[in-house]
Amino acid sequence: EVQLVQSGAEVKKPGESLKISCKGSGYSFANNWIVWVRQTPGKGPEWMGIINPSDSDTRYSPSFQGQVTMSVDKSISTAYLHWSSLKASDTAMYYCGRQDGIVALTGSHYYMDVWGKGTTVTVSS
Amino acid sequence: IQMTQSPPSLSASVGDRVTITCRASQSIDNYLNWYQQRPGKAPKLLIYAASSLQSGVPSRFSGSGSGTDFTLTISSLQPDDFATYYCQQSYSSLWTFGPGTKVEI
């Protein structure tokens, strides 16, 4: 079974650092980019960025550039999302997802076909 | 690219035909995906490339549209379908999601 298993819920104080993880199994982890998405209650998901497990090529949303760092250890099929100094506004659910896609006559269509169950991050003093 | 959805929520009964609309702030051709999110769960891919049904998704779900206007239709609402639905564009490398449509009993 193809799955992404995320690390457990975290409760942190402002200014602390944090790294959450997303471990893939059931497929060749290096073959698909991993997407990170943030979601706060009652809102739509926000695309944070994407990382290529094969070479660690990373693209960030301007909204998250400089706020988080994405990394990957392909030897253990695991992607990470890291904060060096958390803020209360980082409180949210964070999902990782596998990017897959198809090649059509009109171009390549990409989507997130497998999602982790999410990691809740709570930042509070 | 900004995505909007209407309505924000709707009430329906089992067996009803339900249509949700998604609009993009500029043309995105057919680079549009739909996801379903049940309470406390991760989103699940339903439709990609505006009208292609993801493997394993029931055929009562269908998508249509191109350019700026898209629809997701559930032909006969089932109990499992009460959830929030999100559209998402992949035309731009900076993906954006809509605010969601909550389908309630």
pLDDT digits (tens, 9 = 90+) for B18-68: 999 999 999 999 999 999 999 999 999 999 999 999 999 999 999 999 999
pLDDT value at position A104?
Answer: 80
pLDDT band at residue A106 under the 50/70/90 scheme: confident
Strand B84-89 and strand A34-39: pairing? unpaired
Both tokens of residue B44? Answer: 């699940």
Are A20 and A120 in contact, with CB atoms under 8 Å apart?
A: no
Do residue A102 and residue B93 have CB atoms under 8 angstroms apart? no
Closest by CA to B68, choosing from B2, B10, B18, is B2
**Which residues in chain B have Cβ-Cβ distances shorter than 8 Å to A61?**
94
- Interface mutation vs chain A, best among B9, B48, B57, B93, most A CBs within 10 Å: B48
Task: Tell me the shortest Cα–Cα distance from B95 to chain A, in angstroms.
Answer: 6
Cα separation, B16 vs B14, whole angstroms:
6
Are A24 and A35 in contact, with CB atoms under 8 Å apart?
A: no
Count the neighbouring beta carbons within 10 Å of the beta carbon of residue B8.
11
pLDDT tens digits for range A7-57: 999 999 999 999 999 999 999 999 999 999 999 999 999 999 999 999 999
Closest by CA to B42, choosing from A8, A48, A117, A97, is A117
Q: What average pLDDT does range A101-117 have in this prediction?
A: 91
Cα separation, B105 vs B98, whole angstroms:
22
Give me the residues paired with residue B41 across strands. Answer: none
Do residue B43 and residue A115 have CB atoms under 8 angstroms apart? yes
Question: Please, what is the average pLDDT of chain A?
Answer: 96
- Chain B within 8 Å of A73 (Cβ-Cβ)? no
Q: What is the percent of chain B with per-residue pLDDT over 70, rounded to a whole number?
A: 100
